[in-house]
Amino acid sequence: MVFCFECFMCFIWSLYGQLCESQFYIIALASIAALLMLCNVHTSFMMCTPGNGCALDVSTTTSSAVGAGYDYSVERGPHTWHVAESNQSPINIESREVQRINFDMPLNWVGYDKLPLGVRLENNGHTLLLRAAYDGASPFIDGADLLSCFSFHEISFRWSWHDGEGSEHTLDNQHYPLEMQCLHTDAADRCHASSRGLLVVSYLFTLSVENPFLNVIIRYLVAVQQAGQCAEIPPFPLNYLMPTFYSDFYSYQGSLTEPPCHRGAEWFISPIPLAISERQLHEFRKLRSRSGSRIERNARPVQDLCDRIVNLNRYRRV
């Protein structure tokens, strides 16, 4: 169904006039406020949907652009993707071979404790996406050695049917059962015409006890089990899923991990793995691909590091 803003406003004013004539002023004002709030959330999500305007249209560089032209099978898996060969992600991080970097300014996380207007989950047939709509500026990261301010765009997840796999990045050749990748875009580049100016903050998960913060999305995965399904869920601050960190995190220059795998993305890898239970992980494994089968694996294999350097960043308190 196509949303018509002009028709919606005509309906509001008509309703307002009828209620005012009947002298139910309080009911009129409450009704208008509720309808305008719904309109605001809907409009915000329209802006967050790729292809609906320049403000958040990064469809040529992010996981939002995935189509039916590839998957992770033998026929159309990563070994068949025609992408650049250098500076690709993910990578293996050898903790003994990283370059230690000290900086005087910590990472600055702004707005991640703010309650969004709405949160939407989407199963695009390859992965689970999470987007949030805000009244005003989206949460952003700056500070440390970042040369710009990076605004939150979306979250995607990587997993496998096997507990010993799942994550795209590895630490000392160890895979983790789940990886959460939080895409950010350069706030100064409003149209995001290329992959330059992308920051991906990655969190690895290890099997452990139940993670109550994950349940804010786990309980709603049943609504997006089929490819193409979307669901708007009760909003929550992003720091429920994204614990802030300020020091001892890894970083390197790489690419996005889905075709066309654009280069120019900076990666931050959180230093401390998060917890996920077997039950919670199983809920991700129920999500289905476009073929109707369960998504058994959606991780690109580790790529060659070549001459790139992985940094271990530490905030030096003065």
Peptide bond connecting 273 to the previous residue in cis, omega within 30 degrees of 0 = no
- Any domain includes 21: yes
- Any domain includes 55: no
99 and 42 in one domain?
Answer: no
150 and 275 in one domain?
Answer: yes
- Any domain includes 53: no
159 and 237 in one domain?
Answer: yes
pLDDT of residue 207: 97
- Nearest 5 degrees, angle CA 199-CA 204-CA 207? 165
205 and 93 in one domain?
Answer: yes
29 and 72 in one domain?
Answer: no
pLDDT of residue 196: 60
110 and 252 in one domain?
Answer: yes
82 and 196 in one domain?
Answer: yes
Q: Counting Cβ atoms within 10 Å, is residue 255 exposed (0-12), middle (13-18) or buried (19+)? A: buried
28 and 82 in one domain?
Answer: no
Parent domain of 43:
5-48
- pLDDT 10s per residue in the chain (318 long)? 434 444 444 454 454 455 445 555 455 444 544 544 544 444 445 434 433 333 333 443 444 444 457 778 777 778 888 787 889 999 999 999 999 999 888 899 999 999 999 999 999 999 999 999 999 999 999 998 898 999 999 999 999 999 999 999 999 999 999 999 999 999 876 554 444 689 999 999 999 999 999 999 999 999 999 999 999 999 999 999 999 999 999 999 999 999 889 888 999 999 899 999 999 999 999 999 999 999 999 999 999 999 999 999 998 875
- Any domain includes 54: no
Alpha-carbon gap, residue 284 to 207, rounded angstroms: 14
pLDDT of residue 318: 54
- Any domain includes 262: yes
- Any domain includes 240: yes
Q: Are 176 and 205 in contact (CB under 8 A)?
A: yes
174-198: buried (b, 16+ CB within 10 Å) or exposed (e) per residue? ebbbbbbbbbbbbbeeeebeebebb
- Any domain includes 133: yes
71 and 43 in one domain?
Answer: no
96 and 17 in one domain?
Answer: no
Alpha-carbon gap, residue 122 to 59, rounded angstroms: 15
Could you give the number of structural domains in the chain? Answer: 2
pLDDT of residue 73: 77
**DSSP conformational letter for 223:** G
- Nearest 5 degrees, angle CA 253-CA 257-CA 261? 80
How big is the chain, counted in residues?
318
231 and 149 in one domain?
Answer: yes
- Residue 292 is part of a domain; what is its CATH number? 3.10.200.10
11 and 98 in one domain?
Answer: no
- Any domain includes 57: no
